[in-house]
Amino acid sequence: MSILPIVTAPDYRLKQKSQPVLEFTDQTRKFMDDMLKTMYHEDGAGLAAVQVGVLKRILVIDIKDHDSVERPKDFYPLFIVNPEIIEKSEGLITAHEGCISVPEQRIEVTRPESIKIRYLDYHGKSQELKANDWLARVIQHEYDHLEGKLMIDYLSNLKRDVVLRKLKKLKNNIV
């Protein structure tokens, strides 16, 4: 397994809508394994394929150390391909989020408290999952990436511009 390079804002790819995965191959699964290794390396809770420069509708998530729900041992990691959010709760919750592609920023985002998704798993099998609390938040955050949306897009234009200037400065200092 390889650690993949992370794409950070304001890279234009993060604003693109990702395309569905049309077939599952060994290469697809190897890529998902590489995404997972990269997410662990970056100490993330989730990662979308676009965050490593691939515009495919693939997410990996592992919050086993932070999940408020008792789950089977083999529940995590989650490999979520071509997800659709099919239900959202009316109840909303606001919390701070961070993002591997938006380094050194914590932003308050309001999201539905629970969701239900339909997706394909690691083997291409159709699944449905009802998620709440932290898992629902992580799925929605990563799902936003597939739609070309970042957590900073929830900010006012003024605040978003300030964050983008900080990110450009950070990027220029690293390069």
Catalytic residue numbers read 142
Amino acid at 65: D
Distance from first CA to last CA of the chain, Å, rounded? Answer: 26
Distance CA 144, CA 161 (A): 19
Token pair of 138 as six digits: 């992580």
Q: Is 141 annotated as a binding residue?
A: yes
Residue 77 CB neighbour total at 10 angstroms: 19
DSSP states along 46-113: EEEGGGGT--BSEEEE--TTT-SS---TT-PSEEEEEEEEEEE-S-EEEEEEEETTEEEEEEEEEEES
Q: Is 99 annotated as a binding residue?
A: yes
Distance CA 51, CA 44 (A): 12
**In which residue are the tokens 């309001």 written?**
110
Q: Is 145 annotated as a binding residue?
A: yes
Binding residues for Fe cation, by number, are: 99, 141, 145
Which residues does the annotation place in the binding site? Answer: 99, 141, 145
